[in-house]
Structure 1
């Protein structure tokens, strides 16, 4: 229990790359990002939220259109929110990730991922209320879907232990 509000604390959910999670009950969704991007969407009226975690900006015609791609993952998350009764005018978004470390890759896919998220949200008229994007280091993100609060921990190297305390594959 949270002593300040006497409400139960949200449960934890680990979001792996290429997945989407929309919570209708309070949940703390966490993920670890390098060049990949997560979009967190919150419905201010219903007090529900969801997150995606995508690795590539867009699925091309020859690709399998899965949530590994920003155009698929972001549109799917918005559709999930709307299927729960959300209206675009009540939705706000936050964007995280998109790091680029030239020592690890020659291609800056992080910037392309960031732009994909921004373009889709702007096209849908969903207000972006905050971003923590770019740079050269990874991030651990924890999104509290009950109040739209985000915790960001920046990490210079992503390690398997960064997924702690999660030990099982969910």
Structure 2
């Protein structure tokens, strides 16, 4: 099933970026070991999506408010996104959370450790931050050996996912 994006503004999300919107748009991103965190509130149309690169902030995540790159790190991203939703008086129980990515797509991880790849670390960091922030994870499509291309519809909260072959093709 192909999504209908006719008439909607399409935004491409690069690594380390985030997009928040109260208007209907489509956000597109391509993920390998990186992780996208999607948050959506249907009671007050508001949505956010991130493209995180690494699991933990250099400052251990304790002070994400002062993080120079809050959307580069999974732990800081969850905290920052929750704060942004809170500024709109959206309570945590009204936030639908989805995560995508975290694939083991890097052929040679720097550590050579296949058990603790960047993708796996990103997934673990996301699950921990989601739990610590009292959020409910509704959808998770993470891990594996392939990358993903996702399209996020901010009006409905729907995410269309296309798994990529190892050569980057769908």
| TM-score scaled by length of structure 2 | 0.82
Deviations 1:103-150 (A, max 9, x none): 342351101101111111111111100110000010001111111111
Please list every run of 5 or more consecutive structure 1 residues that lacks an aligned counterpart in the other structure. 1-7, 163-170
Out of 98, 110, 132, the position equivalent to 2:141 is 132
- Asked if the contact 1:34–1:158 (Cα under 8 Å) also holds between the matched residues in 2, the reply is no
- Asked if the contact 2:38–2:50 (Cα under 8 Å) also holds between the matched residues in 1, the reply is yes
Out of 70, 75, 84, the position equivalent to 2:74 is 70
Alignment partner, residue 124 of structure 2 = 115
| TM-score scaled by length of structure 1 | 0.82
Please list every run of 5 or more consecutive structure 2 residues that lacks an aligned counterpart in the other structure. 1-5, 62-66
Which contiguous aligned blocks of 4+ residues in structure 1 show a shift greater than 6 angstroms?
none
RMSD of aligned Cα (Å): 2.4
1:142 pairs with 2:151: yes
Aligned positions of 1:16-165 closer than 5 A? 16-61=14-59, 65-66=68-69, 67-101=71-105, 103-105=107-109, 106-107=112-113, 108-157=117-166
Q: Cα offset for 1:9?
A: 4.7
- Asked if the contact 2:105–2:147 (Cα under 8 Å) also holds between the matched residues in 1, the reply is no
Deviations 1:14-72 (A, max 9, x none): 11100111111111111100000000000121122110111100112399641211111
Cα distance 1:120–1:103, how it changes in 2: closer, same or farther (>3 A)?
same
